[in-house]
Amino acid sequence: MKNLISTIFILFGFIFINSQNYDYGKVSKAELEEQFHPSDSSASAAILYRNETVSFSYSQNNGFTQEKEILMRVKIYNKEGFDWANKKVYLYKGDNGNNEKINGLKATTYNLEGGKVKKEKLKGDGVFKEQASEIYEVNSFTLPNVKEGSVIEYKYSILSPFVVLDDVDLQFSVPVKKLDVKIATPQFYRYKKRLNKRAFYVASYTETKKDKSVIISQKVANNDVVGSGRSVSKSEMRYYDNVVVVSEHNIPALKAESYAGTINNYKAKLSMELEARVSLDDIVEKSYSTSWDQVSKSIYDSRSFGGQLEKFSFYKEDLAALLEGVDDDYQKAFLIENLVKSKVKWNGNYGKYAQNGIRSAYKEGQGNVADINLLVTSMLKSVGVNANPVLISTRNNGVPLFPTREGFNYVICMVQSGGSYLLIDATEPYSSGNVLPERVLNWQGRLLLDGGSSRWVDVKPNKKSAESTMINVTIGDDFMATGKVRKNYTSYLAMNYRKRYTNLSTDDHIKSLESGKGAIEVSELSYENAKDLSQPVKITYDYELSDGIDEVGSKLYFSPLLFLAMKENPFKLDNRLYPIDFVIPYEDKFMVSIMIPEGYSVESLPKSEAISFKEGDVKFNYVLQGKGSSLQLMVRLEINNPIIQPVDYEDFKSFFSKIVEKQGEQIVLTKA
């Protein structure tokens, strides 16, 4: 019976999809009445239809021009889906005025009011232009009067003088009911097609050829008539388009799973790499196939990149005063990084190319990622330190499928000295050498040396960060647990703590520490080394916990970790599509000292235990023992390999459940 119902549902869904009118402006009443997605009730929005068409037209003066047309229809189910009403269109700016342009932008919001469809169109004053970087202009628009239940629709085209093709997304963070993609490229340009092999939604494409022709005009000499000059001869050039078509229905959302990390690495997408320009006879006239070395050198040669790494006089005096008497390269790096942090604030923009230029950024006090980190690199080079830029594809940018300049969207600095190296990102106030913002930790980066030669370097942390907690527990006559907590955070965990708490008031800090921990009151909070990045973060506070001890008859029951124990396993899914990504290796260590209240003795204790996952990738140790009138507990969780593959998920989920269960086991004290 269930199979029959499923078959009927799929059949009716197919009939609905194929009968639906997806022309712009033809939003149906049924689409507006839909209150939730039929196969994903958790979706905050859904793409009802997306059409992406790429074609090329030819003119004798300009050659081939690319036109990309986008049509998008989105259903908004609740407030969490409102972000889909905000759109940014990035336009590439080339040399000599060869810029991409947006044409024919239309956008409409549809609402159902009194049983009738009401339309509200985007007006001209709702479109904004800004320069995102030297090479990109952004056109932004927000659809008007968006509500829960609205359907929004927009369309536009991008005219481009370039034959390079952008990646085509085939999956999004919300489900897609219907997706049509058509890419028609002239036979004179050869592209290598790649689907993302990491994607768990398997899309497909078909290929065909379509005959085309253009009229070519040419002036020729007219020798038959004296003095007649030249005449125009017209001829027809026949060629074909290579046509790639993707047609998909009911694409599931690309959903973040707990600890999923770089989710965009698993998005279904189609990439088309320009390989060569060929003749009508299919003879290669020019090869565009490139390597990461070529990509790196082309970036380095830009005046907005390599041109920023020369010595400059505008910071000369500041460096002379700052580095007087300092000989160690790493100490110079530390001082220069902090100088730049104090002088130049990050404006929030990524980029591998300087947006303002390092001189303007230093003088005006703000800049993008490249302005800041190329400034650090330039300063270090000017004082004889072996410093070079490292190109990064950030975690949200994913991992490129082939060598391309657009594969990188960020740059940091590397200092090498004495056989070791130091990575620096001065955009983050609380980062320090070799402790980078999480956005940067995407496996590897490309080190660019003087002249543009390059190689890969590992940017993943290889040293464990640590959180160490010491807590003493006293149980009063009223069975209130009181005591003091001391915490230390190092490396990445220290940076994350500083980012979260340094700018909070003491009251808000305390409220955060109390949140989710039961009936607890925190007092006498001390926060040390909030801004001294060379030291671990140290936190101490007193606590009173009124619901941590259960009295049943003459016995007391409590977990020795009290409010610090994990309450539930964060890994709840039956199956997992993406790897678990803890981002960094780390250890979490607890030392608990419990005073046995007078008149009570130990009846039972949780057993000490040591368990390991996959030959030590993750380790858990639990040691509890009594010493006179006190109990001593040591708990240590070590994440040595932060990546857990989906094939190991079931075993890891079971392993982690044991950790949670162990932390929940109780001490039993009985009245003497």
What is the DSSP code (8-state) at residue 104?
Answer: E
Handedness of CA 578, 583, 585, 588 (dihedral sign): negative
pLDDT of residue 259: 77
pLDDT tens across 341-365, in order? 999 999 998 999 998 899 999 999 9
What percent of the chain lies above the pLDDT cut of 90?
A: 74
Evaluate whether 456 touches 474 at the Cβ level (below 8 Å): no
Burial of 649 by CB count in 10 Å (0-12 exposed, 13-18 middle, 19+ buried)?
buried
| More reliable by pLDDT, 7 or 119 | 119
What was the pLDDT predicted at 290? Answer: 82
Question: What residue type is assigned to position 613 of the chain?
Answer: F
- In the sheet that holds 481-489, the strands lie side by side as 520-528, 537-545, 481-489, 465-475, 586-595, 630-639, 618-627, 609-613
pLDDT at 16: 47
**Mean pLDDT, residues 515-536:** 95
Mean pLDDT, residues 511-532 taken together: 95
* The pair of three-digit structure tokens given for residue 590, joined into one six-digit string: 């607890």
pLDDT of res. 594? 97
**What digits encode the pLDDT tens for the residues 273-307?**
898 999 888 888 888 868 889 889 989 998 999 99
How confident is residue 1, by pLDDT bands cut at 50, 70 and 90?
A: very low
Task: Assign 3-class secondary structure to 304-355.
Answer: CCHHHCCCCCCCHHHHHHHCCCCCCHHHHHHHHHHHHHHHCEECCCCCCCCC
pLDDT at residue 136, as a whole number: 80
Mean pLDDT for 175-182 is 98
φ/ψ of residue 665, rounded to 5: -65, 150
Q: How far apart are CA 87 and CA 73, in angstroms?
A: 13
Please tell me the predicted confidence (pLDDT) of residue 93: 83
How many whole angstroms separate alpha carbon 527 and alpha carbon 531?
Answer: 10
Report the C-alpha gap between 263 and 581 in whole angstroms. Answer: 10
What pLDDT sits at residue 234? Answer: 80
pLDDT at residue 3 is higher than 60: no
What DSSP string describes 439-451? GG-SSEEEEE-GG
pLDDT at residue 17 tops 60: no
Q: For the ranges 28-37, 224-233, 388-397, 416-425, which has the lowest average pLDDT?
A: 224-233
Q: CA 496, 502, 507: angle at the middle one, nearest 5?
A: 120
- pLDDT of residue 133 exceeding 90, the answer is no
pLDDT score of 284:
87
How far, in whole angstroms, is CA 298 from its chain's centroid? Answer: 25
Mean of per-residue pLDDT scores for the chain: 91
Mean pLDDT of all residues in 257-264: 75
Mean pLDDT of the region 28-43:
94
pLDDT higher than threshold 70 for residue 407: yes
Q: Where does the pLDDT of residue 9 fall: very low under 50, low under 70, confident under 90, or very high at 90 and above?
A: very low
Give the domains, in start order, of the chain with CATH numbers: 2-286 (2.60.40.3140), 292-458 (3.10.620.30), 465-671 (2.60.120.1130)
Contact (Cβ atoms closer than 8 angstroms) between residue 562 and residue 481: yes
Here the contacts of 57-60 (C-beta below 8 Å, separation 24 or greater) are 58/186, 58/214, 60/216, 60/217
What are the start-end ranges of the E strands in 404-464?
410-417, 420-424, 444-448, 454-458
Residues 141, 105 contacting (CB under 8 angstroms): yes
What pLDDT sits at residue 334?
Answer: 95
Looking at per-residue pLDDT, the higher value among 184 and 63 belongs to: 184
- pLDDT band, very low/low/confident/very high, at 197 (cuts 50, 70, 90): confident
Digit-coded pLDDT (tens) for 549-559: 999 999 999 99
What is the distance between the alpha carbons of residues 424 and 247, in angstroms, rounded to a whole number?
45
Query: pLDDT tier at 10 (50, 70, 90 boundaries)?
Result: very low
DSSP helix, strand, coil percent of the chain (3-state; round to 5): 20, 40, 35
| 229 has a pLDDT exceeding 70 | no
* Amino acid found at 101: K
Q: pLDDT by residue (tens digit) across 55-90? A: 999 988 888 999 999 999 999 999 999 999 999 999
Helices (H) and strands (E) in the chain, counts: 10, 36
| Tokens linked to 174 | 């919300």
Residue 264 has pLDDT above 90, yes or no: no
Q: What is the pLDDT of residue 132?
A: 74
Average pLDDT over residues 600-615: 95
Average pLDDT over residues 366-373: 96
| Per-residue confidence band for 230, with pLDDT thresholds at 50, 70 and 90 | low
**What's the Cα-to-Cα distance from 350 to each of 347, 394, 406, 512, rounded to whole Å?**
9, 9, 12, 31
What is residue 20's predicted lDDT score, i.e. its pLDDT?
A: 81
pLDDT of residue 12: 47
Tell me how crowded residue 369 is: count the other CB atoms within 10 A of its CB.
29
